């Protein structure tokens, strides 16, 4: 649909506001806007990093720099901490107070401070950390997204910071991309459910009035950021427009409709257009298409990239004009207050209409009013639960449910407890690798900031009585080299294996974030594979523990080991959770939120097209379209077993064929799940649909529902799903949503049932 058509649709009232307007909020915005000078408006549009106002120690704010940035340039927003420095809640609050006092004195408008709080209050040395989003996706349990969001907001607000650049909802559909672990996985439904839950937990129930234990979100990165053609961060993506609308837009749309106040933009480009200059997406899809009055902020230096990197603008003036006219409201510059002068000049010349300047400033002011910053630029509140035991217990529980048992040959796990255990590998005695990036510092440095927590080795020694340790391979800790690993003692590890009964080999990746995590080979490193091969050659059983931010290729060494556990990035309590799971004190229940690829040149997602079939040795085709992968999406083992039965589908109110439906119906699906083993366990029950015939080649299946249940031995539960028929629609070649007449298969736990859509329905609106 064109921008004009979407605008008309909004004016005609067909698109309800994403956030219901509040008259008092709007009156305050207009009152402030009316009194502002052009320079003050331009200053609101520009955001700078904290470094621009700090002294040489990078610990204290320099009053001279602060006066230049806020007193003279009227800058309205500050973000960030330095890459290798982390601060306490108290120190952070003190810095914000200094900034806020200056802003109120010089401008009379509160500043807004933003931080990348990705998996908890992760830029505070005394904050609570949860497993990374990819781990919470593996729980298939919305409750952990809620818990993390609530704790993240509470502790961030306790540091006088009201705005978080979170949650991340880039679909992790290319395992080469170095930010896979910041996503909830590869599926748009899982991503949307978890991100929407976290958004509401961070902001609270009323986006017009954000409380003192809540914060504003910046959902990111809008959109298609996670599938760069090269696999490298911040490089171009090429995405069919129907996929962009149907899959990549969905998590953002649902978070916007749940009240998300701000959006951060994809740093790269889609189909040749830099996202920061894409008016169709920023103004058309987001603002007008969703009738959304929130604020759009750039990512780091991305307006400058329009001319420095992308060459769609000739200079800074043209780049700023291009971004603002496309729909950008706040520019994360992040170092040059002179951008204020550029914005003013563009407004004076008319290259950016004053109406667009005022619209951007309204959106920024509206955010500040909704946060209550005009009434309380700084606030007093009893944050007695900061760093509390409840948050720690939630983090530990999330780690338990997120770590995934992928192989358990001969029932080697759980361990009996009396074994002589050799723990080895570069990730065995590292806390930073359990956390990943955005942990205390940008690239992640938990070893220096949080030594009070247990590494895998320390947790194993706390749980088991006979544990030896030889690293075998270690990471380089020098900046710029820390992702490399070196074989420093494989012979020593092999020698130590002679005195053990079982080997726990902890391999994977060191921490990384964004572009420093780019790679040329998805294979697990040769040094680590050599370590596993040498240990397996001793004849001692090897338990392979994968501690990684993305699924590294291990197809050649997987047959050599007895068990595989993927802990991914479970954070500070991940080592304790692993020891409890290996010992059998707890049971595994995590499932893969992504497809674990087996071959370097065969990177698939679970919802591939049915035409992507694997040819068998006999030359016929496998019509179930089963891809050759290491482990599929949704895979994960347990110490108990579950049986599915009695899959039932009903269409309430339908006449004639009881399983026939139309676009307005809601399908009722139920399935009975029984714990047929001897241990209690949790099971993620996943519901899929398959469109059997469609006008575009259909996906082999799509996730349509999930629920996490707990069952005692012999216990059964009936899990119920409500599936709106509209969920079975797709975006056709004409760009319109369509639900087509024909058969659909609904499947759950190996069972399937057929339903039939009676007639085709096509929607003219871009969002249904």
- Rounded Cα gap, residues 147 and 136, in angstroms: 11
User: Quick one: which of 203, 195, 288, 305 has its CA closest to 248?
Assistant: 195
Could you say which DSSP state residue 132 is in? Answer: -
Residue 308: C-alpha distances to residues 301, 325, 341, 465 (Å)? 10, 19, 19, 58
Q: What DSSP string describes 142-165?
A: HHHHHHHHHHHHHHHHHTT--EE-
Q: Which of 126, 187, 233, 299 is catalytic?
A: 299
Establish whether 329 is a catalytic residue.
Answer: no
For 512-551, where are the alpha helices, taking DSSP H only?
Answer: 526-536
Give the phi and the psi of residue 522 in degrees, each rounded to 5.
-75, -10
CA 195 to chain centre: 8
Residue 161 in contact with residue 425, Cβ under 8 Å? no
Q: What is the dihedral of CA 652, 658, 663, 669, to 10 degrees?
A: 60
Please tell me the distance from the alpha carbon of residue 544 to that of residue 561, in angstroms, as a whole number: 7
DSSP H or E segment with residue 401 = helix 389-402
- Cβ contact 669:746 at 8 Å: yes
User: Measured at the alpha carbon of residue 9, what is the angle toward residues 8 and 13, in degrees to the nearest 5?
Assistant: 110
CA distance 635 to 223: 27
- The Cα–Cα gap between 746 and 702 comes to 10
Across the beta sheet with 716-724, the strand order is: 642-650, 666-675, 716-724
Phi, psi of 319, deg, nearest 5: -65, -45
Q: What are the residue numbers of the active site?
A: 299
């Amino acid at each position: 649909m064109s921008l004009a058509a979407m605008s008309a649709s909004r004016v005609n009232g067909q698109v309800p506001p994403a956030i219901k307007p509040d008259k008092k909020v709007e009156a305050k915005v207009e009152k402030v806007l009316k009194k502002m000078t052009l320079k003050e408006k331009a200053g609101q549009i520009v955001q700078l990093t904290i470094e621009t106002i700090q002294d040489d120690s990078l610990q204290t704010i320099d009053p001279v720099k602060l006066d230049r940035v806020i007193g003279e340039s009227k800058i309205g927003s500050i973000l960030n901490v330095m890459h290798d420095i982390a601060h306490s809640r108290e120190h952070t609050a003190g810095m914000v107070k200094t900034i806020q006092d200056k802003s109120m004195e010089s401008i009379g408008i509160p500043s807004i401070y933003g931080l990348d709080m990705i998996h908890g209050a992760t830029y505070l040395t005394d904050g609570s950390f949860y497993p990374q989003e990819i781990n919470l996706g593996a729980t298939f349990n919305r409750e952990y997204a809620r818990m993390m969001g609530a704790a993240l907001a509470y502790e961030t607000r306790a540091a006088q910071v009201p705005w978080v650049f979170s949650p991340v909802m880039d679909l992790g559909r290319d395992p080469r991309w170095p930010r896979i672990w910041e996503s909830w996985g590869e599926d748009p439904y899982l991503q949307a459910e978890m991100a929407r839950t976290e958004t509401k937990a961070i902001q609270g129930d009323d986006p017009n009035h954000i409380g003192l234990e809540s914060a504003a979100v910046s959902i990111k990165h809008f959109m298609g950021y996670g599938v760069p053609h090269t696999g490298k961060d911040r490089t171009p993506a090429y995405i069919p427009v129907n996929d962009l609308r149907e899959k990549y837009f969905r998590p953002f749309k649902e978070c916007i409709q749940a009240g998300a106040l701000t959006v951060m933009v994809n740093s790269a480009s889609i189909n040749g257009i830099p996202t920061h200059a894409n008016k169709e997406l920023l103004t058309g899809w987001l603002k007008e298409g969703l009738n959304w009055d929130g604020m759009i902020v750039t990512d780091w230096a991305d307006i400058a990239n329009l001319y420095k990197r992308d060459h769609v603008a000739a200079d800074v003036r043209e780049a700023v004009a291009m971004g603002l006219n496309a729909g950008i409201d706040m520019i994360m510059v992040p170092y040059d207050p002179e951008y204020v002068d550029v914005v003013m000049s563009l407004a004076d010349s008319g290259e950016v209409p004053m109406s667009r300047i005022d619209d951007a400033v309204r959106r920024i002011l509206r955010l500040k009013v909704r946060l209550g910053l005009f009434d309380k630029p700084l606030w007093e509140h009893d944050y007695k639960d900061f760093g509390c035991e409840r948050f720690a217990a939630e983090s530990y529980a999330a780690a338990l449910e997120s770590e995934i048992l992928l192989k358990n040959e001969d029932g080697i796990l759980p361990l009996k407890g009396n074994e002589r255990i050799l723990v080895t590998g570069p990730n065995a005695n590292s806390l930073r690798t359990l956390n990943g990036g955005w942990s205390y510092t940008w690239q992640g440095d938990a070893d220096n900031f949080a030594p009070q927590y247990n590494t895998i080795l320390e947790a194993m020694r706390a749980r088991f009585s006979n544990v030896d340790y030889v690293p075998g391979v270690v990471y380089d800790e020098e900046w710029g080299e820390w992702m490399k690993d070196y074989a420093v003692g494989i012979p020593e590890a092999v020698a130590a294996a002679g005195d053990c009964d079982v080997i726990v080999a902890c391999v994977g990746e060191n921490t990384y974030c964004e572009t420093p995590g780019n790679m040329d080979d998805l294979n697990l490193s040769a040094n680590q594979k050599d370590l596993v091969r040498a240990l397996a050659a001793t004849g001692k059983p090897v338990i392979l523990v994968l501690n990684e931010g993305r699924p590294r290729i291990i197809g050649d060494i997987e047959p050599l080991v007895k068990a595989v556990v993927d802990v991914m990035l479970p954070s500070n309590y991940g080592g304790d959770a692993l020891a409890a799971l290996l010992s059998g004190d707890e049971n595994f229940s995590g499932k893969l939120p992504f497809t674990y690829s087996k071959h370097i040149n065969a990177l698939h997602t679970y919802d591939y097209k049915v035409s992507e079939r694997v040819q068998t040795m006999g030359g016929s085709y496998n019509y179930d379209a089963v891809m050759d992968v290491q482990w599929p999406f949704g895979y994960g083992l347990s110490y108990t077993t579950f049986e599915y039965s009695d899959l039932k589908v009903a269409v309430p109110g339908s006449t004639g064929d009881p399983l026939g439906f139309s676009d307005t119906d809601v399908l009722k699906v139920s399935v009975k799940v029984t714990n047929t083993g001897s241990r209690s366990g949790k099971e993620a029950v996943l519901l899929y649909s398959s469109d059997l015939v469609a006008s575009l080649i259909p996906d082999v299946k799509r996730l349509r529902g999930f629920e996490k249940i707990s069952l005692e031995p012999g216990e059964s539960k009936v899990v119920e799903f409500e599936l709106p028929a509209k969920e079975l629609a797709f975006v056709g070649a004409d760009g319109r949503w369509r639900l087509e007449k024909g058969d659909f298969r609904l499947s759950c736990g190996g069972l399937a049932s057929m339903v039939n859509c009676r007639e085709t329905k096509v929607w003219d609106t871009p969002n249904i």
